[in-house]
C-alpha cells in the first residue's frame, strides 16, 4: 500500500512539474523589471514554504514522540527534517543565484537569508547528532528535544533579525499582502509548483521513513544477535 | 476549592503548593550549583581552561586588525561575545561530564533531586563561572584595546547577566543532551552556536551601544527585550523538558 502511495505521489508530482515547467518557461512572459531571472521564484518560494512546513510538522511529531514514546513518530520526524533541509538548501541556493543577477552579490546579511541559514545549520546539527547516537530510544528523545528548541529558536531568530537589517523583497503572495503585488497568473503558478513540490517531498519522506524503520529493525536484530 | 472562592480562581492551596514546589526546586538547584562551584574552585578545571582560552583569543584578535584603530570600538561588543561563546563551550562540556566518573550522574538522578532542579543548578554554576571569565576578559580587553567599558556600568552588568543566563541555560541543556555522546566536545558547539544567534546579536548590539558614551537609543533597547524573551522562553523550555532530557 505504502509503495502505491509513493508511486502515486511521485507520478502526479512529475506530471504536474512537467506542466509547470512548460508554463513557466514557455507560456509566462518575462517580468517587466527583472526579466527572465524572476522565474527562479517559482522554485525559490515553494522550496522555502515546503521547508518551513516540514520543520513545523517535525516539531509536532517530536512533541507527539515525547508524549507517546512511539518510535514511528521519531522516524517520521527525522525523515521530514532531512527532506526539509534539502528544500531549505534549494531555497538558499536559488535565492543566491537570483541575488547575484539582481543585486550583484551572492549573499547579504538580510534577516530572511540569515534566518534561513540558521535554520539549515540547526537542523544539520539535528541530523549530525542523530548519527552520533546509536541507541534508538536515546536518539529519538534527544532529537525530539533538539527539534523543539530549534523550532522555537527559528521563530526568535526570524523576529530578532527583522529588526536588525533587511534587504530582501517584501512578501508577494496575496495571502500575506491582500493582493496587487503579483500577477494572478504568476501567483497561480507559484501555488501549482508548491503543490508539485509538496507531493514530491511527501513521496521522499515516505521513502526515507521506510528506510529509517528498516535501519532500526536491522539494528535491533544486530543487537539481539550480539546479545545472544 | 476553598469555600467562598469564585469558580474561575486558582484555589489558595494550589497556589501555595506551586509556591512550595518552586521554592523546593530553587533550593535544590542552589545546592547543585554550590556543589559544582565547590568542585570547580577546588580543581579549577574549566575555569582555568576557559579563562586562558578567552585571553588567548583576545590576544589573537589583536593580530587580525590594528588594536588601536577606532573601528575596534565599534566591533568591541562582537569580539567580546564571540570570546564568551567560545569560552562557554569549554565550561558546558565539563558541566555534566564531571558527573560521569563513578556513575555520579546516575546517583544524582536517583536522589530526591528533581530533574529540573539538577538542570537549573548546573545552569546556575555555569552562569557564575562564565560571569567570572567574562569579568576577567572584560578587564583584559580594556587594557589590550584601550577600551573604556565602564561608562555605563549598570546597564552593561544587566546585559551581561541576561545574556550569560541565556547562554548558561542552553549550555546546560545541551551539555546534558550530549554528555553520553561520542565526539561530545565537537557536538556541543555545533548544536549551541546556531541556537545562540538571536541572543548573541542582541548582546552584541547592546554592548556596542553601551561602549559608546551616548545613552542607548529606543531601537537598541528592543534588543533588551530579545534577551529577556530568549531567557524566559529557553528557561521555561528547559524546565519543561528536564525530565525528558535527563531521566526518561
H-only helix segments in chain A: 2-22, 41-68, 71-102, 111-132, 136-164, 174-177, 184-227
**pLDDT at position B166:** 94
On whether residue A226 sits in a domain, the answer given is: no
Q: Does A131 lie at the interface with B, CB-CB under 8 angstroms? A: no
**pLDDT at position B69:** 66
Question: CB–CB of B178 and A129 under 8 A?
Answer: yes
Q: What Rg value do the Cα atoms of chain B yield, rounded?
A: 20
On whether residue B3 sits in a domain, the answer given is: no
**pLDDT at position A162:** 58
**pLDDT at position B210:** 86
Give the distance from residue A186's alpha carbon to the nearest chain B alpha carbon, in angstroms.
35
Rounded CA-CA distance A52/A56 in Å is: 6
**Is ipTM strictly over 0.85?**
no
On whether residue A227 sits in a domain, the answer given is: no
- From B203, B219, B81, B207, select the one nearest B153 (Cα to Cα): B207
On whether residue B51 sits in a domain, the answer given is: yes
- Count of CB atoms situated within 10 Å of the CB of B57: 16
User: Where in the sequence is the domain holding B136, given as residue range(s)?
Assistant: 12-246
* pLDDT tens-digit series, residues A128-187: 888 888 888 888 988 998 899 888 877 776 665 556 556 666 666 766 666 666 777 888
A82: domain CATH number is 1.20.120
Q: Where are the beta strands (DSSP E) in chain B?
A: none
pLDDT in tens, chain B (248 residues): 444 455 556 677 777 887 888 888 889 889 989 998 998 888 888 888 888 989 998 888 888 877 766 777 778 888 899 999 999 888 888 888 888 888 888 888 888 888 889 889 999 999 999 999 999 999 988 888 877 777 788 889 999 999 999 999 999 998 888 887 777 788 888 888 988 988 998 899 899 888 877 777 777 788 888 899 889 999 999 998 888 877 75
On whether residue A90 sits in a domain, the answer given is: yes
On whether residue B205 sits in a domain, the answer given is: yes
User: Where in the sequence is the domain holding A51, given as residue range(s)?
Assistant: 2-220
B50 near B133, Cβ under 8 Å? Answer: yes
Binned at pLDDT 50, 70 and 90, residue A98 comes out as very high
Q: What is the DSSP string of A80-146?
A: HHHHHHHHHHHHHHHHHHHHHHHTS-S----HHHHHHHHHHHHHHHHHHHHHH--SHHHHHHHHHHH
Specify the number of domains making up chain A.
Answer: 1
**pLDDT at position B4:** 47
Q: Which residue has the cell 507531493?
A: A199
- From B246, B104, B247, B86, select the one nearest B176 (Cα to Cα): B246
Specify the number of domains making up chain B.
Answer: 1
On whether residue A228 sits in a domain, the answer given is: no
Using a CB-CB distance cutoff of 8 angstroms, which residues of chain B are in contact with residue A160? 198, 201-202, 223, 226
On whether residue B118 sits in a domain, the answer given is: yes
* pLDDT tens-digit series, residues A53-63: 999 999 999 99
Question: CB–CB of B191 and A145 under 8 A?
Answer: no
On whether residue B100 sits in a domain, the answer given is: yes
Q: Does B217 lie at the interface with A, CB-CB under 8 angstroms? A: no
* pLDDT tens-digit series, residues B64-86: 877 766 777 778 888 899 999 99
pLDDT of A18 above 50 = yes
Using a CB-CB distance cutoff of 8 angstroms, which residues of chain A are in contact with residue B178? 129
- What average pLDDT score do residues A44-69 get? 92
On whether residue A136 sits in a domain, the answer given is: yes
Amino acid at each position: 500500500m505504502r509503495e502505491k502511495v509513493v508511486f502515486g505521489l511521485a507520478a502526479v508530482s512529475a506530471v504536474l512539474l512537467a506542466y509547470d515547467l512548460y508554463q513557466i518557461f514557455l507560456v509566462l512572459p518575462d517580468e517587466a523589471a527583472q526579466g527572465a531571472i524572476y522565474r527562479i521564484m517559482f522554485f525559490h518560494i515553494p522550496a522555502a514554504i515546503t521547508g518551513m512546513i516540514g520543520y513545523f510538522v517535525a516539531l509536532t511529531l517530536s512533541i507527539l514522540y515525547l508524549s507517546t514514546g512511539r518510535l514511528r513518530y521519531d522516524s517520521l520526524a527525522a525523515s521530514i527534517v532531512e527532506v526539509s533541509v534539502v528544500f531549505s538548501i534549494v531555497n538558499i541556493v536559488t535565492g543566491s543565484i537570483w541575488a547575484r543577477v539582481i543585486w550583484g552579490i551572492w549573499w547579504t546579511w538580510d534577516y530572511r537569508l540569515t534566518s534561513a541559514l540558521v535554520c539549515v545549520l540547526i537542523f544539520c546539527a539535528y541530523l549530525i547528532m542523530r548519527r552520533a547516537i546509536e541507541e534508538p530510544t536515546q536518539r529519538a528523545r534527544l532529537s525530539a528535544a533538539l527539534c523543539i528548541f530549534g523550532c522555537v529558536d527559528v521563530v526568535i531568530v526570524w523576529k530578532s533579525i527583522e529588526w536588525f537589517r533587511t534587504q530582501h523583497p517584501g512578501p508577494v503572495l496575496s495571502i500575506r499582502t491582500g493582493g496587487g503585488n503579483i500577477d494572478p497568473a504568476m501567483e497561480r503558478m507559484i501555488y501549482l509548483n508548491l503543490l508539485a513540490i509538496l507531493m514530491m517531498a511527501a513521496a521522499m519522506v515516505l521513502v526515507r521513513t521506510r528506510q529509517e524503520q528498516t535501519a532500526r529493525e536491522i539494528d535491533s536484530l544486530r543487537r539481539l544477535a550480539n546479545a545472544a | 476549592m476553598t469555600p467562598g472562592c469564585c469558580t474561575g480562581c486558582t484555589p489558595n492551596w494550589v497556589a501555595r503548593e506551586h509556591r512550595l514546589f518552586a521554592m523546593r526546586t530553587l533550593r535544590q538547584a542552589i545546592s547543585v550549583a554550590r556543589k559544582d562551584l565547590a568542585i570547580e574552585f577546588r580543581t579549577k578545571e574549566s575555569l582555568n581552561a576557559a579563562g586562558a582560552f578567552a585571553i588567548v583569543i583576545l590576544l589573537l584578535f589583536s593580530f587580525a586588525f590594528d588594536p588601536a584603530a577606532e573601528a575596534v570600538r565599534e566591533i568591541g561588543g562582537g569580539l567580546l561575545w564571540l570570546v564568551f561563546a567560545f569560552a562557554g563551550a569549554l565550561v558546558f562540556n565539563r558541566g555534566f561530564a564531571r558527573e560521569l566518573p563513578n556513575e555520579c550522574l546516575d546517583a544524582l538522578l536517583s536522589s530526591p533531586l528533581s530533574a529540573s532542579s539538577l538542570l537549573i543548578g548546573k545552569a546556575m554554576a555555569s552562569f557564575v563561572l562564565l560571569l567570572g571569565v567574562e569579568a576577567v576578559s572584560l578587564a583584559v580587553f580594556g587594557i589590550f584595546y584601550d577600551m573604556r567599558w565602564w561608562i555605563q556600568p549598570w546597564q552593561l552588568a544587566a546585559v551581561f547577566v541576561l545574556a550569560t543566563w541565556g547562554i548558561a541555560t542552553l549550555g546546560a541543556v545541551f551539555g546534558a543532551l550530549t554528555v553520553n555522546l561520542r565526539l561530545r566536545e565537537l557536538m556541543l558547539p555545533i548544536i549551541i552556536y546556531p541556537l545562540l544567534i538571536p541572543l548573541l546579536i542582541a548582546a552584541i548590539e547592546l554592548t556596542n551601544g553601551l561602549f559608546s558614551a551616548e545613552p542607548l537609543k529606543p531601537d537598541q533597547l528592543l534588543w533588551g527585550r530579545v534577551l529577556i524573551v530568549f531567557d524566559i522562553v529557553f528557561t521555561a523550555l528547559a524546565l519543561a523538558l528536564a525530565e525528558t532530557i535527563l531521566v526518561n
